[in-house]
Amino acid sequence: MALARSTGSRPSARRDGVLAFLLLGGALAVLPVLSDAELPVLLASGALGLGVLGAVVRSTVRRRGEPYGPADRVTVGRSVLVALAAALLPVGLAPVLGQDGGRPAEAWCWAVFAVALPAWLLDGVDGWVARRTGTATHAGARLDQEVDAVLLLVLSVAVAARLGLPGAWWVVLIGAMRYLFLLGLRVRPAWRRGLPFSSYRRVVAGIQGGVLLGALVPLIPLPLAVTAVAVALVLLLVSFGRDVRWLERSERGLS
């Protein structure tokens, strides 16, 4: 029956996917008007935004075994904002990485902040909707987690640019930690073991997005932004270290 429900929900996933692409396409169409970026940069922006959204929509349309529900609709809607934030990265990074150097314009920082803030605030809404409607699925939870991870990576790159590249490269570690952990799974399959609930892990994960958003605001002095982001990174490293230690001890039968 679950498979039948999943098959029946596929048209809804396709419909929401088309709507999501239309919304993102409309926003990308306005980007050349609001930015003086060159054509290659605009093409990179479009490719990045469409790539992020395409991955999300593809995962919902091709889902097997679990239905596409109202919580997934919220996640897809949030992914439009995340994709737009990703599309803004090339526009801000081009002058920073080019011959001009320096830092991105304050207007760009505000633009990324304005797009990413609602995406971050909506985190958890999809989970609430799933519980409220009784439609929680493992696939939906994974999708939500992946959208969160992309948003964190986008924000960490944007903040690194605002703090000054290449010196602030370490900020990107905040967004890259999850992907580094996934790479570690290839070396240590034992890390695939399910982790016990940790309030520390949950709080630290919630802090990261808020700190990065705050550090992106041009009104925040750079020294304060650097300090806040450094503290957030240390907390995240401790969190991952605790989890890896537990996994290794569990593998040896010591936990």
Q: What is the mean pLDDT of the chain?
A: 90
Residue pLDDT, tens place only, 180-198: 999 988 888 888 888 888 8
- pTM here is 0.91
| pLDDT the model gives residue 254 | 59
| pLDDT the model gives residue 93 | 92
255 CB neighbour count, 10 Å cutoff = 12
Q: How many domains does the chain have?
A: 1
Choose among 119, 179, 130: nearest CA to 153: 179
Mean of the pLDDT values across residues 230-250? 93
Residue pLDDT, tens place only, 29-70: 999 998 888 999 999 999 999 999 999 999 999 888 888 889
User: CATH no. for residue 29?
Assistant: 1.20.120
| pLDDT reading at 7 higher than 70 | no
The amino acid present at 75, given as its one-letter code, is T
Mean of the pLDDT values across residues 146-171? 95
The amino acid present at 209, given as its one-letter code, is G
User: What is d(CA 192, CA 187) in angstroms, rounded to the nearest whole number?
Assistant: 11
Choose among 56, 4, 34, 38: nearest CA to 112: 34
Range of the domain at 245: 2-251
| pLDDT reading at 14 higher than 60 | yes
User: What is d(CA 253, CA 118) in angstroms, rounded to the nearest whole number?
Assistant: 43
197: left (phi over 0), alpha (psi -120 to 50) or beta: beta
Element counts in the chain: helices (H) and strands (E): 9, 0
